[in-house]
Amino acid sequence: MCGTNLSLSRGWSCISASEGVGDEIMKVAIGCDHGGLNLKVSVKELLNALGHEVEDFGCHTPDSCDYPDIAVPVANAVVSGQADRGILICGTGIGIGIAANKIAGIRAALCHDTFSAHACREHNDANILVMPGRFISTEEADMILTEFFSTQFEGGRHQNRIDKIPVK
């Protein structure tokens, strides 16, 4: 059991604060543009209820904003070690993910399903989860998030492939 009525009332499965990072609470940088605001609010509530440290880089209103203004600070927080992982959400997830991947050391992966969330962690060591705010439900986001946080990087041949990615 989760030990939180928030997760149970929403039908969310349980992501313990220790999954994916030993027994430590994970530091998560989160951000969205206006197209991802509703989903971000739900994801942030879940992460907070489970004890993770969440730093919200915006946006905070439904007013139109530019996704690079959110993606770059979240990506920088992950690269600098200020955050263990990041979560970015925009309407489709495409633009905000492209912007994040311009930062050296970021491997942001757009995930619509649990298979993608699992594979991007296991094979690509993705450090930012990108989700489409207009195309998945809070329940789907929970399952994707659970898979992303609980899957460990396999290393080996996958590390060899990551090492071949040019970083400028």
Q: Which residues are catalytic?
A: 90, 123
Concatenating the DSSP letter of every residue in 94-114 gives HHHHHHHTTSTT--EEE-SSH
For residue 139, give Cα distances in angstroms to 3, 19, 41, 66, 162: 18, 18, 13, 27, 31
Residues present in the chain in total? 168
The closest alpha carbon to 87, from 48, 143, 139, 29, belongs to: 29
Please, which residues have CB within 8 angstroms of residue 103's CB and are 6 or more apart in sequence?
72, 75, 76, 79
Element holding 49 (H helix, E strand): helix 37-49
Q: Residue 98 and residue 101: Cα distance in Å, rounded?
A: 5
